[in-house]
Structure 1
Amino acid sequence: MSIPRYTDLDTVHDHVWDALETAAEDPGHPYRQLTFGTVHEETPDLRTVVLRTADAGARALQFHSDRRSRKVAALRENDRIAWHAWDTESLEQIRLYGTATVHVDDDVAAALWESQSPGSLSVYPRPTAPGTPIDEPDDKLDPAVKSDPITDDDVAGGRQYFVAIRTVIDRVEWLHLHPDGHYRARFEYASDEGEATWVVP
């Protein structure tokens, strides 16, 4: 398979955001499950999350989480975040940096909850918070969500633990490990026009 090589910064920028917007809709896309980084007690903290929405115009990415999780506590202390994605077929890496807001009972949270399938919300109706020590392996999920079909009623009790996390990106770092030579681009949004440049990989 021939791997395209991009030589125009505007094309690269559109390519990155097109891929993220596609990934938010396509469960099989390599950028659907991304590494999400926060700072917790002055220490970097990483985990994999599922990308739920992407909006190039707003430079925004969203996912959902349990409001009792450590990532939510970390974001309330320090709103700086980072994302990382890697495509094994195209040999592209994306790193994104920005800030996050936690949405609990507002329109952002309501819209994301309502847009999700019951199956994707099945982790929320459990009284035990993520990270709680237990005596043996157990997901602590409600029995109602362990058999198909999972319904809206089965997950309704989990709404109290659900949060939407919305991130706004202020810098993108894109790296292409192309067979003809590695190359890298940076996009920064500090000004209305933004700034794009090639950088040494």
Structure 2
Amino acid sequence: MPTFIRMTSPEPSVYPGPTHSLADIAKASWQQLASVLDERTDASPAPGFKTMIVASRTETSADARTVVLRKVDTDRKYIWFHTDVRAAKVMQFEAFPAATLLFWDETLRTQLRFTVETHLHSDDYIADEHWKEVGVGSRKNYLSEQEPGSEQPAPYPGFPPALGANLPTPEASEAGRPNFAVIECRVLAMDYLRLSREGQVRAKFQYEPESKMTWLAP
């Protein structure tokens, strides 16, 4: 199995050798993605795969935003992130479930691009289970009295201004639960790209409707 080594110089070789098969790269990519969920500490820098760009479509154009990775199922090939149920992207996903997730790790010089089918969870046990894991610092944002993206006469902090720099109590934070939603992403395919001065490595892993993996020209 290939080992991802975080280093600044010299840059590690990325050419697949005898042990760097397509299956090895796929497994390592998913493990690296899942590992960031165990690396979250206030003292350490955020791992590169902690955030992702989510691209969706509308009737007339495309839309994109950055969200935080919340959960990964490496076996079943699912990815989850959280959102305010009132956000525009929720309506976009309901109308057009297909989306793209884009991850980039500057240290690893690796991009993971996922083709996914989204599913909304807002008033079910899955959303309830995720909500239990959300800290009050994040729950604070779901207390917003205003819909995300709505016009305001002045800067709005994204939560009741009276809270200021304070956190709500766990009991008070429960008021944000109706605004909380989970977006479940069923991965249909993964495009892997590793950059290096020695040469690039790119591969595609198709999971549905049939399983297939192949090398690609960068």
Segments of 5+ residues of structure 2 without an aligned counterpart are 1-8, 41-45
Q: Which among 192, 196, 200 is matched to residue 174 of structure 1?
A: 192
- Tell me what 1:3 maps to: 12
Q: Secondary structure at the match of 1:124?
A: helix
1:23 aligns with 2:19: no
1:191 and 1:86, CA in 2 relative to 1: closer, same or farther beyond 3 A?
Answer: same
1:198 aligns with 2:192: no
Query: How far does the alpha carbon of each residue in 1:37-63 deviate from its partner, in whole angstroms, 9 at most, with x for none?
Result: 111224111000000101111211111
- Tell me what 1:105 maps to: 123
- Tell me what 1:69 maps to: 87
Query: Separation in 2 of the partners of 1:90 and 1:133?
Result: 39
1:50 aligns with 2:63: no
- Tell me what 2:149 maps to: 131
Segments of 5+ residues of structure 1 without an aligned counterpart are none
The one-letter code matched in structure 1 to 2:51 is Q
The one-letter code matched in structure 2 to 1:20 is L
State TM-score, norm by structure 2: 0.86
Query: How far does the alpha carbon of each residue in 1:109-130 deviate from its partner, in whole angstroms, 9 at most, with x for none?
Result: 0010001111122110122100
Moved more, 6-15 or 127-136: 6-15
Q: State the 1:160 CA deviation.
A: 0.8
Aligned length in residues: 200
Identity of aligned residues (%): 25
The one-letter code matched in structure 1 to 2:36 is A
Query: How far does the alpha carbon of each residue in 1:9-65 deviate from its partner, in whole angstroms, 9 at most, with x for none?
Result: 111101110111112333321111110111122411100000010111121111111
Query: Separation in 2 of the partners of 1:11 and 1:145?
Result: 48
State TM-score, norm by structure 1: 0.93
Q: Secondary structure at the match of 2:116?
A: strand
1:183 aligns with 2:192: no
Query: Separation in 2 of the partners of 1:145 and 1:21?
Result: 34
1:76 and 1:53, CA in 2 relative to 1: closer, same or farther beyond 3 A?
Answer: same
Q: Which among 183, 188, 191 is matched to residue 165 of structure 1?
A: 183
Q: Runs of 4 or more off by more than 3 Å in structure 1?
A: 143-150
The one-letter code matched in structure 2 to 1:3 is P
Contact 2:122 2:182 (8 Å CA) reproduced = yes
Root mean square deviation, CA, Å: 1.6
1:116 and 1:19, CA in 2 relative to 1: closer, same or farther beyond 3 A?
Answer: same
Q: State the 1:145 CA deviation.
A: 4.5
1:88 and 1:63, CA in 2 relative to 1: closer, same or farther beyond 3 A?
Answer: same
